[in-house]
Structure 1
Amino acid sequence: MKSIYFLFLLVLAASSANVYAAGSVLSVVCKGDDVGAEVLVNGKFKGECPLDIKVPIGTLKLKVQKKVDASNDRIFEQEIRVGDGVVKRVEVLLGAPKLNAEGKRAKSERLKAAKTEEKNTEEKLTTCTVCPEMVPIPGSDFEIGKYTVTFDEWDACVEDGGCNGYKPLDEEWGRGKQPVVNVNWNDVQSYLEWLSHKTGKTYRLPSEHEWEIATRAGTTTQYYWGDELGFQNANCHGCGNRYEKKKSAPMPVGSFKPNPYGLYDMLGNVWQWTDGCREGDCAKLVLRGGSFEYDSEYLNVSYREGIEATERINNLGFRVARTLP
């Protein structure tokens, strides 16, 4: 019986010797900045590189890693076959920094926070009740204000800390939906800056070309409603509308029918600033559209007027434009 037990121990010892071959050693070699990296075999920490380790025969997963910072590690990984009674030498060259578990978690949190902020910004922009309503122009790469900017919209800019705090006079015509007047070209730039910041989009004045495309709305006549002045088509001196008996004054935006593109008061009511230069050297900037104080001849789609950028007058306003992405 003792002989059988002794024989069993010999067999067991022989088996162990085969699994851990007497001379099977993994020699992990590191140089330079890679010295001191952690060595893991089959996921278990074995020490720091350089390192000689007694290993079992078979296939091993070697991982050598060194922390760069809290979020990044430099890593070397290799699957190694170790035979009987050998010294397996592996020269390690750690790779470029990669995100570790902590780095991936931090990145995930940053992305989540960025998406939340983007969503909040989009919600804020879509609920801007004080921003001008815009109309995309068919066949063009821009959109333009459905109405000229109102006192309500300008006053919102001032109340929000924009427009240099300037509150233009309303000439006792009222504010609200009346077109803002008494704003010069420089005043308008301060409004555009505020609006762009508030919406995250870039607003500007329309060019003369854009203004004319938007005003004509595909027509070729003197006015966008035809070649005849007609009745109740615009607010101008002598336009023959229901406001004639009243003292000459601007009317609330949208008081007349829109043009075929759905734009209101492109002609009449108040002159509109553009970014065009009247004299070529920009000594004067171009106004378009005519106004309530001017005769119908000034409402001609092609008519151009020019004044200096610093002038503020009571029949001059503006509408905004934006290049579409």
Structure 2
Amino acid sequence: MLKMQNSTNMTEFTDDEYKDFYERSQFICGMILYPVICIPGLIGNALSLIVLSMKNMKTSTNAFLVALAISDSIKLINDLIYFIVLVLQRTNPAAADIAYVNIYPYAHFIFNISTCVSSWLTVSVATERFILVCYPIKAKTVCTRLRAIVISFIIYLVMISISLPCAFRYEKTKEIVDNVTKWDLKLTDLWNNEDFLLYYTWSLNFLRSIIVLIILIILNVCIIFSLRKMRANKKNTQRNRVTLMMIVIIMVFVICILPDAIMSVLRHGYYEGTYLQRGIREFSDTLLTINAAVNFLIYCVFSRTFRQNFAVLLPVCQLKTTGESNQQLYKKVNSKETTVRDAQSV
């Protein structure tokens, strides 16, 4: 997420001894980790979208995962823009200031949308997996691809609406010093209203992280206990493997969002805080970036079907490792379509 760089009229910072810590944190996270995470993450999400959109992969869970890959990609693009602004700040400060005042307000809005959407799509996946594991008979009628698409669309629509006030958080200010025009950002009157600031930010934090964490932890515990009971049933091997993959996705999400949730409780604002808090926020935001980039690797590790479909996209590697033609491998993947659909996932 784009961070506030040079605004001095927003908050007076009194912990100058932590300024070096903040600047080092910003350099490590924004200049080093973000490009290393975001670029491979965007490639992985693009490949996930291609594989999950294949004919034999069109299940209800995969519909949620497609929507999640889109949301995660938006988050990664947003963070990559932050990296570009930091580069400009060190090479062309004037251009960096212009980019900052024009991009940051929208980047803040997009950050909230993508984070909220990813949170509730993960809850949707966990809820579906809970139904599939604990109520398999009802799941045949409840967990449909059309319903998953509709729910994903509703999540996007609702989260965009809820995050809309963030688009009106800042306004540009202009100051002429020595015949040089300087632009900056300040909070709008809406966000200077203490009552609105308190109720909205607390509501958004609960919606984005705290409530999500509680739901996911409860669902994950229930799924794990149910999975342990089903391990002896060989007929459910494929479904159990998929469930294990979903458990890992949920656990990674919980670990990555937990520091952000703690910071949100301690400080309802992102930048109206001390240098120490801003430095810690750099690392908590980086964990959110890792979460947005890691799902492709989890699919490859835990899903044989995903790997087989992905191999169709890599005919050179496929021929070297298996000696099969592209068409033969695709037939092999399609022959398992019924099993995959029964498992309702990648």
Fold match by TM threshold 0.5: no
TM-score by length of 2: 0.20
Q: Flag the structure with higher helix content.
A: 2
More strand by share: 1
Q: Higher relative contact order by CA 8 Å / sep ≥ 6: 1 or 2? A: 2
Name which one, 1 or 2, has greater alpha-carbon Rg: 1
